[in-house]
Structure 1
Amino acid sequence: MSSNKEMYLAFRGQIFEALDPEAVQKMSRKELESQIQSAVDLLATGYQRPITSMMKTGLVKSLIDELFGLGPLQPLVEDQSITDIMVNGPNNIFYERHGKVHKSDLTFVNEEQLLAIAKRIASRVGRRVDELSPTVDARLEDGSRVNIVIPPIALDGTSVSIRKFREQNIGFEDLIEFGSMSMDMARVLMIASRCRMNVLISGGTGSGKTTLLNALSQYIAEDERIVTIEDAAELRLQQPNLVRLETRTSSIEQTGEVTQRDLVINALRMRPDRIILGECRGAEAFEMLQAMNTGHDGSMSTLHANTPRDAIARVESMVMMANLNQPLEAIRRTIVSAVQLVVQVNRLRDGSRKITSISEIVGLEGDSVVMEEIYRFRYDDSEYGEAVKGEYVTNGIMQRSELVKKAQFFGLYKDLMASFTGR
């Protein structure tokens, strides 16, 4: 392995030194590939040990990947079964496939190569990463999200995290097939989306919150005006009357920053029927709750929390970040009147992603927010194996439920009740 790395370094240094950057910019990929192939063939004749044609082909591909793509990461980017790529320095590359994390045999030749590729990723999307600005959060051309942290902040070498963009839309049918929810749960969520319920999707990193939000959005009527707000655009809504907004970090002069809170405030002036916030993580939570309370029914957002009750506590904390000096009781009353459904998604120990709870907020009792769990995933503790086993259970739904009232208003009451009677 070390001899292959030495060979790659030797060829790479000579070929890259001979390349004219301006000429490379004007060349097509095919032309450059032909030139590099000729250079590799020429250098191979004078190399200290024999080089097979397969090794030459691999060398050419690696050099092209470094010039046009993401270097050693390119094979992982092209693999459709891989969802996340994590780089912890030049010698430690990990990837996630089917919910499980694996260590890759691929490595960068050195920290300089990794840092150069990280800087190129940032520059392609109009961002910069250097000692003055050592972190960057951006979106690649294909929609994948990327986060970069470089030394001295990253102690063991440059860190790159890529959340890959899925080409295909995952709908409720796919989630049922994956075992992420039951058919009855899908019907309840579909009706909640159609009936303009305000929904929070709660879960951990990589649990499938955005995937579920995308699936829910497929049941929004085409005559509704929707405004989406995200840090890095991941949502793929198909409705015709759609405005997509994305935040912007500050420039080198520390000016021009546009936060999610700014965009939510601006969205209220755009006559939206629904506002969809990709992820709620700060002071924008207050404006989001106000929007839900003032005629923008059917608004949705995701947030990081481990349980539905933790999600409510997290919203309380985020509203406090807005520095409005509101008493906690007033904040809780706002949450209760704004949010109607909390959907909890979790990634389990076997890598599977499941909706573990669908809860409705029914009111305030003293200082506590009262929640009614409509569906939950009940673990089977009797059989502890590699795969997590269990079943989706329900205690039914109350007739005073807001979901029942809205289903009656939208003419979907019979469909909703069928989810609990099994018919």
Structure 2
Amino acid sequence: MLKTKVGYSTLKDSYAKGKEAAKHATVGMRPKLGMMYCSCNDDVEEVVNGAMSSMKGAPVIGCTSSGMIMTNDGIIESEDGFAGLMAFDDRNMTIGVAAHKAGKNAREIGRKVARAAVENAGENYSPNYFYMVASPKEEEDYLMGIQDVIGRVPMFGGSAADDTVEGNWKVFCNDQVFSDGVAVAFFYTDNDIVTSYTGAYRESDNYGLITEVRNDRTLVKIDGVSALKKYADWIGKKPSELKGQNLLVASITKPLGVKDPLGNLTVVRHPMFGDDMGTRTTTDDVINLGNKVVEKTAIVQLEATVDELIKSTKTTLKDVKSQLTTEPAGYFLVHCGGRKLGIGDRIDEVYKNLVEEAHGVPFITVFTFGEYGYDEHSANICGGLMLSFTAFGEE
């Protein structure tokens, strides 16, 4: 039977912080895996080293979280940084982990990581479920490479994040710590693992055809019109009001979305940066997105109030719990850092929702700049401004 336990620390010393978090998470446990999340302001290598010293030989994987994490005990944040770790204990579960820094060919790196994780698990077949963490760049290509090796195995996860969108994030897996790359944990188990992956936004009546894209993540034109101008018209703003990171904030409650082919899942695309291309005209203004888009596909403007963003955390946790066929052993909750920014000083309401719905089952919430998952029969996919809530069954 699977057991999970969460430990955390806000000690000033980075090594001691990781050690204490892992020590609390492994009391009475024979851990198979530790999933850990810490502040970008910590000495991340030291946090990881400290955690590994308490993990009884089990692997540690994770990333930096934007501003805070949440556990059953509260919102964990501190000027001295923070670390939180969820430990997994199940004698019938096998885990394989692997990581790789970014390079010239992200898809090939994904293949290498997948092969290494299978080997690390001591197996010769695909896992039942897998976790991916990456820097917020090239995630789709890493995922394709992984699936080239193991096929369409259900996945969950999210990207590394920092506090200011300046690239101060880290990904880590055991003794590997880097800013740009990917890491995975492969789960070999008969236990229930289920994911609820959603943006929980409403679709507006504003939509169009993507007619030009640059470098996968720069949306140049919608319906042949400057993407930023079209979007500004949709939400009742002027393009000049959405320049730079003004767009990132303005779009949290009014992002863009793309649908999977069957229409079961609308994946959010977060407009991150409004670029006027250094010209005075608005006819060439573009939108830099958090994830990939494709020409000749539809894109729709989504919307949600802050009240709805807060409420969605409770309804999504309730949904993922309902998918289990056994009692829950733990919840791993990926919440977009951008949503957190939009929620602002009401973030304590999110915590209250999660505690109320968890009913004492251990959980850890990490705040990311990209969220990964699937819904029903959709493909595995990467999005932004989303929730990827995963439940682990006891059996």
Per the normalisation by structure 2, the TM-score is 0.26
By percentage of residues, which structure has more helix? 1
Higher Rg: 1
Per the normalisation by structure 1, the TM-score is 0.25
By percentage of residues, which structure has more strand? 2
Which structure has more relative contact order (CA 8 Å, sep 6+)? It is 2
